[in-house]
Structure 1
Amino acid sequence: MNAADIAKALAERAEDVAAYLLPNGKRAGREWKAGSISGEPGQSLSVAIHGQKRGLWRDFATDQGGDLLDLWMAVRACSVAQAMREAAQWLGLRETIPAGAPKREYRRPPKPACTAAAAEVLSWLASRGIKEQTARDFRIAQRQEAGKTYAIFPYLRDGEFINAKFRNIAEKRDMRQMKEAEPCLFGWHLIDPKCRRIVITEGELDAMTLHQAGIAALSVNAGAGSFAWLESDWERLERFSDIVIAFDADEAGRKGARELARRLGEARARLCEFAPYKDANEALQAGESPEFFARAISEAKPIEPDGIRPFDAFLERVQAMFWPAPGEEAAGYPLAIGHKTQDWLVFRPGEVSVWTGINGHGKSQFLAQLSVQHAALGARWCVYSGEMPPAVQLKRLIKIATGQDRPHPEHIAQAARWIGQSMWVIDRVGSVELSWLIKVFEYANRRYGCDCFLIDSLMMLSDVPEDGSGAFSAQKRAIQTIADFAKRSGSHVHVVAHPRKGRDETMAPGKLDVGGSSRITDGADNVLSVWNAKHDPTKPDYNPALPDGHIALHKQRHGDVQDRKALLWSIAGCRQFSADSLRAPRVFVPEPARAPQPAQEDWL
């Protein structure tokens, strides 16, 4: 939970919080009165405990004030982060996050050989409007390489040297960061621990510009389109209830700013531009004052919903649908089976696919393979399977990823690492509430960039009954909630829904055979089924050339193809399906090279 969430939760219990923090105060009408933040009796400090201003306070003697999280910091004399931890514990709040691979460990690089910024770098910075004291604040350094002068921007955080960017002052394109260093934001060492508002810029010089104007600012490390730093700095950003994103005023900057706002939470994010300039540093070079920057920050706009538009505003996008540019692929991930890609079905962002199939016919197995296929294309998954422990899921994924039934231990470890970079799992066996699950999915989407989600299955959601009074209405609300999340997050959600019991298992279920309300399939964008013919390889008449089953498409709302099948041949051992009778497994994670074993000398 971020600072704004905790402050809101505190406001809902304003009187209890005021009495807890200021026990010697007393209630006076709609307020709680105390002498000061020290808590003695008096009238100077007022906390609104009812009405529109509930959760706000002010000490009229010192002109201090803010929300109840600010009061917690003031009374406890602690940082925002510490106040958030204490308040969350007091409130009984606990955020569950999806489990995944252990957080990546980055090496701490050695500090580069350099000197403090001297005449050349200081002169270059001065030409950009940056004062010498600002350069000293950010500990800018200088280094000579092959006759070239580089400015060094150190990334410092929590008293540690994390990373550094080297920039040739004579050639902007000659720029690099330290290899394998942790990606993080630039400027953390200058941010007051009690600060609740931060500006995030696209470049180091922009952050330095705003700092020089008296505004707390950080910079991303690799431009507007890279969010690798977000996982590293996620917890540190939770303390800010107001995040102003001031990326460059160009297409890439605006696109990146909107995506960052979505991932950090649009309720606490605002977008800022320094018109008519491209960025903050350009405005500084043009002679703009600190007041100009302060005004631009205060006037930053919250994310507004898109308004109504004429149809022909989408002409360019529609042209690309008919005639995509060479190499340009449709958004989403195609249906892929082993070595073959089926171009007639794409799992698009903002959509929901409902999967059905008779118990034991391989729908979960196929979805596990699909998750590995899509991970190889860059997808990031978050999986909830209420019937299967995470360790069992990982074992099966490793078989699929390696193409082997029993890979070597080193191969297992390598496959697990590969899977851990692209997949997260909800570490919960048993039923969960859909509302809770969606919150965890939103977290995984914002923090880890997950864009594919799996719910296996709908029957494991405790607030979505299969039958009984109100079951159909609950199922309708559930699929609407899932669809809303998919559209809001720009992700694809796969949902397993069991079929009604049929006459026997020789007939594959269709769209109308999905158990429960018809609203489940009505609300889905795609409906598919997996069916297994249950061939017995031990029988004399077994023909390995015949398919073992199929995947059937029964509905595709936004595609041109309907009612199509893809034949499946199972591959024993590695839990893969093949799209042809060759049954050749696809290896997603090659076996690592192993040192040759010394030959045994024959003594006989």
Structure 2
Amino acid sequence: MTRDISERLADHGIRLKNYVAGEHVTTCPECSHARKKKTDPCLSVKIDGEGGATWICHHCTTTGNVPCFEKPEKWKRPTLPEKPKRPEAMYDWFQGRGISRETVDKAGCYATEEYYGPDKKSCIAFPYRLDGKPVNVKYRTRDKQFKQTQGAMRSLYNIDNVTGDEVIFVEGEMDVLALMAAGIYHAVTLPDGAPKEARFRDDDKRFDALRNCLPKLEGVNKVIIATDSDVPGQALAAELAHRFGKDRCWRVTWDEATKDANAVLQAWGKEALKATVEEAEPWPIDGVYRFEDFGEAVLDMYHGRGPQPVRIGIEGLDDFYKIMPGTFHIVTGVPNHGKSNFLEQITMTLAEKHGWKFGIFSPEHKPAQYASRLLEKHLKKPFYEGPNPRMTPEEITAGLEYVNRHFYYITSNDHTPTIDWILEKARLSCLKYGIKGLVIDPYNEIEAGRDKNQTETEFVSQLISKIKRFCRTHDVTVWVVAHPAKMQRDQNGDQPMPDLYSISGSAHWFNKADMGMVVHRNFEEKTTAVAINKVKEQPAWGSTGKLTFWFDGAHRIYKPTGVF
């Protein structure tokens, strides 16, 4: 049974007067005890009614969450034998792989028989436990045939032994036991092995076990990835680094003669295995490297392998503006000239044509308002009454199901969030929902909170650096909408088209952006100009230039002029 929300919050030192769904306030377990006003309720807690909760302290900015669980009745819980069989032949088999009788007993492995097709075969059982209770059993024959409890919950093997701030991911139960034999007990593995290639799909069932164990991994700050050195093992390593963030990941490199933890244990012994894990190196993100470290990446880029810029699918725009995953984009334009509207079309098109998911921080719009705008882009019909047929309630219901799968609204009802708060929510959304894009619209709704001696230019530079670090670490593309400084009208009373240097606050918006776009409406001609002012990598990601669109009011989308 899933533990009550009160117990799970208590694990974090959070106690409330009641635990009904909604907003609550209480003292902060991190800072209240050290404050002058120890009883000040500075911690806001939101219970979602589905077994989950999120919180933030408005004094020390501590944030956290306990995710909602899937309904436990969805899973079939296995029953373990009261007197498991552990014959000497089984112990001998483990001993031949360097794993002692004590380790086997501690892991709870036992011998049994299971059907593999029509035939019943002898096998070894590896029980999976979560919070001390069995949730799954994986079975292995001598000839490496595998099966699991049908209908069981997917979880990480040995997850209950992860109690500190570090976890080691290996590739298989035998590797977990090998590390246990070497005195390393906080290793885990996914139950379904490694993928043939890294796909970075949030709906990959292989990673259900990781999602189901998120509460156990909340306190983990260091993720050591010790998967096999073969191609699937490298793919699994890339998937894990993508989900946890490369800034928290370390990589174990196996000896050329061995490819995993159990092989090292058999070949070289416990001390060698322990030393190999202790020599794990930080995942390369920022630092100084030799260019030979990137030789394979250079060839991949030359041959068109690996991450490639995405053609959005908007006619007229694709040749000028492509989306490279993990890049930072700035969008500007005079207020009410359609920059948010055009950006919504970009995100919806990426969702429809490429399956992207997005986190949306748009405090100028209430969630229902933003949903109506997305519905217009998806259904290609007006939401409100007017000269053109509007969408029906039935279409809205179906459309909302689609929007719900691809867009996640980030908001704070009781404070103006900082960029750190927004990026943390986006990080959690990346891990839990698999978002690939984040929209911050507009920049001026972010809490400035800069030091007394810090200029706005310095603050903007620091803010952009944080965003770009998030982009690189999580391979998430971020769009920030920023208004230009107030511009003087020309002699005809028209507002001239701004550029990226016109953005209020700093020239860093142009200098540090990977891609930059300006949206400007010509009210007299009823057209909208879209200028691509910045493309960091030309021509791979596109090129600078200016396009003209007209807004199709009947279908609520922009189309290039000349297309009707």
| Cα separation, partners in 2 of 1:308 and 1:208, compared to 1, 3 Å | closer
Pick aligned residue for 2:128 from 155, 160, 171 = 155
Q: Using the alignment, how far apart are the partners of 1:250 and 1:183 within structure 2? A: 24
Q: CA deviation at 1:295?
A: 3.8
SS of the residue corresponding to residue 318 of structure 2 reads strand
Q: Within the alignment, does 1:95 sit opposite 2:72 as a pair?
A: no
| Residue deviations 1:353-379 (CA, integer Å, cap 9, x gap) | 111122222211222222222234243
Q: Within the alignment, does 1:279 sit opposite 2:268 as a pair?
A: no
| Cα separation, partners in 2 of 1:170 and 1:314, compared to 1, 3 Å | closer
Q: Using the alignment, how far apart are the partners of 1:162 and 1:418 within structure 2? A: 32
| Cα separation, partners in 2 of 1:154 and 1:559, compared to 1, 3 Å | farther
- Aligned residue runs from structure 1 range 461-480, under 5 A: 461-463=446-448, 470-480=455-465
Structure 2 match to 1:553 = 532
Pick aligned residue for 1:221 from 191, 197, 205 = 191
| Residue deviations 1:189-237 (CA, integer Å, cap 9, x gap) | 5x27x55654321212211333344432221234455644433322211
Q: CA deviation at 1:249?
A: 2.5
Q: Using the alignment, how far apart are the partners of 1:403 and 1:508 within structure 2? A: 28
- Aligned residue runs from structure 1 range 342-361, under 5 A: 342-361=318-337
**For residue 170 of structure 2, what is the amino acid of its counterpart?**
T
Structure 2 match to 1:433 = 418
Structure 2 match to 1:204 = 173
SS of the residue corresponding to residue 321 of structure 2 reads strand
SS of the residue corresponding to residue 184 of structure 1 reads coil
| Cα separation, partners in 2 of 1:472 and 1:482, compared to 1, 3 Å | same
Q: CA deviation at 1:166?
A: 5.8
Say if 1:569 and 1:578, in contact at 8 Å, map to a contact too.
yes
| Residue deviations 1:375-424 (CA, integer Å, cap 9, x gap) | 34243322211211223222322333344446566654554444444433
Aligned-CA RMSD value: 4.6
- Aligned residue runs from structure 1 range 495-574, under 5 A: 495-499=480-484, 500-503=486-489, 504=493, 507-534=496-523, 548-560=527-539, 561-572=542-553
Pick aligned residue for 1:492 from 454, 464, 477 = 477
Q: Using the alignment, how far apart are the partners of 2:336 and 2:101 within structure 1? A: 70
Q: Within the alignment, does 1:451 sit opposite 2:424 as a pair?
A: no
| Residue deviations 1:320-345 (CA, integer Å, cap 9, x gap) | 54553xxx5753433332x7871442
Q: CA deviation at 1:278?
A: 1.0
Say if 1:547 and 1:568, in contact at 8 Å, map to a contact too.
no
Say if 1:270 and 1:302, in contact at 8 Å, map to a contact too.
yes
Q: CA deviation at 1:447?
A: 5.1
Structure 2 match to 1:389 = 366
Q: Using the alignment, how far apart are the partners of 1:316 and 1:547 within structure 2? A: 50
Q: CA deviation at 1:554?
A: 1.5
Structure 2 match to 1:371 = 347
Say if 2:311 and 2:318, in contact at 8 Å, map to a contact too.
yes
Q: Using the alignment, how far apart are the partners of 1:103 and 1:414 within structure 2? A: 25
Q: Within the alignment, does 1:232 sit opposite 2:198 as a pair?
A: no
**For residue 225 of structure 2, what is the amino acid of its counterpart?**
I
Q: Within the alignment, does 1:108 sit opposite 2:74 as a pair?
A: yes
| Cα separation, partners in 2 of 1:93 and 1:363, compared to 1, 3 Å | closer
Q: Within the alignment, does 1:186 sit opposite 2:157 as a pair?
A: yes
Q: Using the alignment, how far apart are the partners of 2:262 and 2:140 within structure 1? A: 16
SS of the residue corresponding to residue 397 of structure 1 reads helix
| Cα separation, partners in 2 of 1:523 and 1:197, compared to 1, 3 Å | closer
Say if 1:155 and 1:161, in contact at 8 Å, map to a contact too.
yes
| Residue deviations 1:51-93 (CA, integer Å, cap 9, x gap) | xxxxxxxxxxxxxxxxxxxxxxxxxxxxxxxxxx9xx99x976
Q: Using the alignment, how far apart are the partners of 2:350 and 2:71 within structure 1? A: 25
| Residue deviations 1:4-49 (CA, integer Å, cap 9, x gap) | x99xxx9x99x979xx9xxxxxxxxxxxxxxxxxxxxxxxxxxxxx
Q: CA deviation at 1:95?
A: 0.5
Q: Using the alignment, how far apart are the partners of 1:267 and 1:498 within structure 2? A: 32
SS of the residue corresponding to residue 342 of structure 1 reads coil
Q: CA deviation at 1:239?
A: 3.6
Say if 1:383 and 1:454, in contact at 8 Å, map to a contact too.
yes
Q: Using the alignment, how far apart are the partners of 1:105 and 1:580 within structure 2? A: 51
| Residue deviations 1:299-333 (CA, integer Å, cap 9, x gap) | 444446553324x7656545554553xxx575343
Structure 1 match to 2:226 = 246
| Residue deviations 1:512-543 (CA, integer Å, cap 9, x gap) | 443343222122121112233447xxxxxxxx
Q: Using the alignment, how far apart are the partners of 1:264 and 1:245 within structure 2? A: 11
Say if 1:529 and 1:552, in contact at 8 Å, map to a contact too.
yes
Q: Using the alignment, how far apart are the partners of 2:147 and 2:317 within structure 1? A: 39
| Cα separation, partners in 2 of 1:219 and 1:415, compared to 1, 3 Å | farther
SS of the residue corresponding to residue 258 of structure 2 reads coil
| Cα separation, partners in 2 of 1:574 and 1:156, compared to 1, 3 Å | farther
SS of the residue corresponding to residue 475 of structure 1 reads helix
**For residue 395 of structure 1, what is the amino acid of its counterpart?**
S
| Cα separation, partners in 2 of 1:393 and 1:171, compared to 1, 3 Å | same
| Cα separation, partners in 2 of 1:178 and 1:400, compared to 1, 3 Å | farther
Q: Using the alignment, how far apart are the partners of 1:171 and 1:16 within structure 2? A: 56
| Residue deviations 1:264-309 (CA, integer Å, cap 9, x gap) | 46676543355342112223444x5444444444444444655332
- Aligned residue runs from structure 1 range 403-414, under 5 A: 403-404=380-381, 405=383, 412-414=396-398
| Cα separation, partners in 2 of 1:576 and 1:521, compared to 1, 3 Å | same
Q: Using the alignment, how far apart are the partners of 1:195 and 1:519 within structure 2? A: 40
Say if 1:117 and 1:142, in contact at 8 Å, map to a contact too.
no
SS of the residue corresponding to residue 432 of structure 1 reads coil
**For residue 218 of structure 1, what is the amino acid of its counterpart?**
V
Say if 1:167 and 1:176, in contact at 8 Å, map to a contact too.
no
SS of the residue corresponding to residue 336 of structure 1 reads coil
Q: Using the alignment, how far apart are the partners of 1:335 and 1:98 within structure 2? A: 35
Say if 1:121 and 1:169, in contact at 8 Å, map to a contact too.
no
**For residue 75 of structure 2, what is the amino acid of its counterpart?**
P
- Aligned residue runs from structure 1 range 252-267, under 5 A: 252-254=232-234, 256-257=236-237, 260=240, 263-264=243-244
Say if 2:140 and 2:147, in contact at 8 Å, map to a contact too.
yes
Structure 2 match to 1:62 = none
Q: Using the alignment, how far apart are the partners of 2:211 and 2:495 within structure 1? A: 48
Q: Using the alignment, how far apart are the partners of 1:204 and 1:306 within structure 2? A: 34
Which structure: larger Rg?
1
Q: Within the alignment, does 1:336 sit opposite 2:313 as a pair?
A: yes
Percent of aligned pairs sharing the same letter: 23
- Aligned residue runs from structure 1 range 301-320, under 5 A: 301-303=281-283, 306-310=287-291, 317-320=297-300
Q: Using the alignment, how far apart are the partners of 1:104 and 1:512 within structure 2? A: 48
TM-score scaled to structure 2, two decimals? 0.69
**For residue 245 of structure 1, what is the amino acid of its counterpart?**
I
Say if 2:515 and 2:535, in contact at 8 Å, map to a contact too.
yes
- Count of matched residue pairs: 481
Say if 1:554 and 1:564, in contact at 8 Å, map to a contact too.
yes
Structure 2 match to 1:72 = none
Q: Using the alignment, how far apart are the partners of 2:488 and 2:62 within structure 1? A: 44
Q: CA deviation at 1:178?
A: 5.0
- Aligned residue runs from structure 1 range 590-601, under 5 A: none
Question: Gaps (5+ residues) in structure 1?
Answer: 21-84, 536-545, 584-604
After superposing the two structures, state which structure 1 stretch, 387-396 or 116-125, moved more: 116-125
Structure 2 match to 1:401 = 378
